[in-house]
């Protein structure tokens, strides 16, 4: 796998340090909410890319939390967004009156998240907070209120630490840029 990577953007250590910081900030910001509602927050991961991020983030959060998963699709099996967002798997948790924290792997066009936030907002949660590990520096991005961003990354095709190309590279412990010849075939 490593030979397909043009360069490493964030090392395992850099990711761990940043995830720790985000966990600390979230714990601080939701301390009051967790006192009011002993169930704490509902941490929602968007499968499959954000699963690894959420697993690490959850262990850096010190307030009580529940974990739930959603699967949506805006990408086919390639590198280009189709612009179509579908819910493939919905939450099991009733989020009415709950503090919801959505953990997303990467914001590119922002279509996926803006759709997701709208869908969850219609269910009457106490609050919705978005945490994105990566945000691409693109010009045309849907307007998303993203409270926590791990890294502002370049507009290239990125893999590793949960992110895939055609379901590969998710298990790379670092985040890197995929060589264009791989996805240009």
Which residues are at the interface with ligand IMP (CB under 6 A)?
A: 46, 49, 74-75, 81, 104-112, 157-159, 163
Which of 49, 150, 160, 176 lies at the binding interface for Mg ion (CB under 5 A)? 49
Query: Residue written as tokens 């796998």?
Result: 1
Beta carbons of 46 and 86 less than 8 angstroms apart: no
Report, in Å, the least distance between residue 10 CB and ligand IMP.
Answer: 13
The active-site residue out of 108, 143, 145, 164 is 108
Q: Report what 15 binds from Mg ion, ligand IMP, none; CB cut-off 5-8 Å by kind.
A: none
Q: Report what 57 binds from Mg ion, ligand IMP, none; CB cut-off 5-8 Å by kind.
A: none
Task: Give buried/exposed letters for 44-71 (b at 16+ CB in 10 A, else e).
Answer: bbbbebbbbbbebbbebbebebeeebbe
Report, in Å, the least distance between residue 156 CB and ligand IMP.
Answer: 7
Pairwise CA distance, residues 155 & 124, whole Å: 34
Active-site residue list: 108
């Amino acid at each position: 796998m490593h030979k397909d990577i043009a360069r490493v953007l964030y090392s395992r250590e850099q990711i761990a340090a940043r995830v720790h910081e985000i966990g600390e900030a979230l714990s601080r910001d939701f301390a009051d909410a967790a006192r009011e509602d002993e169930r704490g927050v509902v941490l929602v991961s968007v499968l499959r890319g954000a699963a690894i991020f959420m697993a690490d983030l959850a262990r850096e959060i010190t307030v009580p939390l529940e974990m739930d998963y959603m699967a949506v699709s805006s990408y086919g099996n390639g590198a280009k967004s189709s612009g179509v967002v579908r819910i493939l798997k919905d939450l099991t948790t009733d989020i009415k009156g709950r503090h919801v924290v959505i953990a997303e792997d990467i914001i590119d066009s922002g279509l996926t998240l803006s759709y997701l936030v709208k869908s969850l907002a219609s269910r009457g949660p106490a609050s919705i907070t978005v945490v994105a590990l990566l945000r691409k520096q693109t010009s045309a991005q849907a307007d998303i209120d993203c409270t926590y961003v791990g890294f502002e990354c370049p507009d290239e095709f990125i893999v590793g630490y949960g992110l895939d190309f055609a379901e590969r590279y998710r298990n790379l412990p670092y985040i890197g840029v995929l060589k264009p010849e791989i996805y240009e075939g």
